[in-house]
Amino acid sequence: MSDNRYGAAQGGYGAQTTSAIGGGKPAVAGFGAAPAAPAGDLVKDTTTASFAVDVVQESRRQPVLVDFWAPWCGPCKQLTPIIEKAVKAAGGAVKLVKMNIDDHPSIAGQLGVRSIPAVFAFVDGQPVDGFMGALPESEVKAFIERLTKGRGGDPIAEALEEAKGLLAAKDLGGAAELFGAILQHEPGHQGASAGLAECYIAAGDTERARALVDALPEAPGEDAALSAVRTKLKLAAEIAHLGDPVALQARIEGDPDDHQARFDLALIAQAKGERDAAAGHLLEIIRRDRAFDDDGARRKLLEFFEVWGPMDPATREARRRLSSLLFA
């Protein structure tokens, strides 16, 4: 595969791919596609006991946003009226469920919530997207539009999904062309930038991926795929300085409480794509010594979850095991 097939992030892509997205900026999809629902049915509070019904089951009917908040959180108070307004404006295409983490901390802990407000989008019973921080109204509306894009026919979103499919099928050239066409049409698009960076990483060009990602400012509510690429590049830089895995394993056999050796083995396993082994090393550290490196094993495991994605079997199994360690 020639390098020019997935060239510069902002140029070098053919008109054929660009035209598939559309000749001009696509109109913002309206919220009116779904039947209107009473405003009182669209926003509610939930508990740990009712989470499965209010969120998991309900998300099989339409997307459900879960807002993790606390009474003492100032940004939460800023976000609440904004997100409630946007959900009501969507007219039943999406619902909002709010969870007070002071009263109900376990679900937030299992999902790896590290700061609030944190919003997770559930579709078909699973978390598929999210953001943290009090976003302005325009960004909250855009998030909901992306979540309900199937109802509105957004050509950018459709092209992005097609490009993701090509990337998953290892068609790096085709995926990069389509991600690049999106960037020509909408420079700085976070999802397309993340996808193109993934193409570079898969082709072994991490420096090009890093340059592309570093050119985009980090901000609250960043696209989950872009955050995952940032984390992947960070992990790649970390493992470049690790030692010999055979020697590290020998250290553990000599001293099962050599947590640093176990931690380094987890990073090496992650680099090799051995996700279950990587999670297993970190979970063993958590089981033996939660205080190691200021809870560093759990924090690193949450970074892995971000890279793997919420739907990956390794993420789901490791979350289950982590929850049993933390809340048993």
CB burial string 155-188: b at 16+ within 10 A, e below: bbbbbbebbbebbeeebbbbbbbbbbbbbbbeee
Cα dihedral across residues 320, 120, 88, 92: positive or negative: negative
The CA distance from 136 to 149, in Å, is 20
76 is an active site residue: yes
The CA distance from 193 to 13, in Å, is 14
Beta-bridge mates of residue 68: 99, 118
Residue 296: enclosing H or E segment and its boundaries? helix 296-308
Give the β-pairing of 118-123 and 126-132.
antiparallel
- Asked whether 128 and 144 are in contact (CB, 8 A), the reply is no
* Complete DSSP assignment for 62-125: S-EEEEEE-TT-HHHHHHHHHHHHHHHHTTTSSEEEEEETTT--HHHHHTT--SSSEEEEEETT
CA dist 238 and 232 (Å) reads: 10
Instruction: Exactly one of 21, 42, 55, 76 is catalytic; name it.
Output: 76
The answer to whether residue 199 is catalytic is no
User: Cis bond leading into 117, ω under 30°?
Assistant: yes
Cα distance from N-terminal residue to C-terminal residue, the chain: 51
Name the residue among 280, 283, 278, 284 with its Cα closest to residue 256: 284
Separation of alpha carbons 296 and 59, rounded Å: 33
Catalytic residue among 42, 73, 96, 157: 73
Q: d(Cα 192, Cα 198) in Å, to the nearest integer?
A: 10
Catalytic site residues? 73, 76
